[in-house]
Structure 1
């Protein structure tokens, strides 16, 4: 019962601190008020983290990683990220993976990095999904779950990766239709690279969809964002 009250109290402190910290982007006056509050944000965050508040553990890890109100200490950052990651905090899992990839201040471990990125991706964390899709490169994208998920979520890089894959490696009408679909999705986002590819797509007999009217339409759209 006592432990529960302590955790509740520390949680309230941390939430209050987080709310005040976020308000410093609203006005310069509020920033001055926050700066004048007499407390040690590191110690409050550490107390909440030690009490088991997962968001506080992630915040503390970031503070150590970025040197916020303390010296940079990547070993401490790894420790707190790992605690939160084991509780399935998605940002912690992803940030932990990035530290393993960089090998800056910690031992590089690509296997561990892949484990944590894939764990976060499986739980739907979009930065992890996009990361995995980017590093897939070409390969066999027809069965690449991460590229497809990233593309379906609206990620331009993943969409272009699929479009280029089916344009360059496609051999059937269906392949080129898939390429056309993804080019349209990116072109509608105002990306000139996709718009120009559609201009060529509708002029090249290779793709089996010659349409001068559509080609002209996309030529006129190049650089325009609705």
Structure 2
């Protein structure tokens, strides 16, 4: 197989999306393990946090669209979660690890926004439902992780979070609607969502808050 042929094979939808799925699970699982590290839990709890964060959003998505739950069919997903937990444990205490949590979460958010939308589309969901499933897939695991770690939920902060997943999912659906190649659509959609989330992390970007009622004297 020539390099050009190999690249073409990787760009096929049936190859792009599974690779993205494994990568997304690994990234989110690592954020779960990092959250356990912040609370100084043991290795078993690391594994639990990693697995729940890694597969939580995808599990809810599959149940809602009537698909077989992905990690039940393929044990590699849980193995990846356990590997991510062990990796974080082996790395140990590092000054940069909690900053890594933010950025790994941002990458997972953008990637899973695309993946959730793509899987919903493969089960015949309407474009709007695909976008909703993308946001759900990307955010649910992180929300559960924060609850378990006794951290303030990202939903209660004004900085852009689910909006980044919505952007990734929406852009992917739109680009596929105009028949753009899957690999190009995936890369552009992930880049857009990641850029938006990066702006929230670095610059504090947020949506306008609901205005307060005027004071009456």
The TM-score bracket by the shorter chain reads: under 0.3
Bigger Rg, structure 1 or 2:
1
Using the size of structure 2 for normalisation, the TM-score is 0.25
Higher relative contact order (CA 8 A, sep 6+): 2
Instruction: Please report the TM-score for the alignment, with normalisation by the length of structure 1.
Output: 0.24
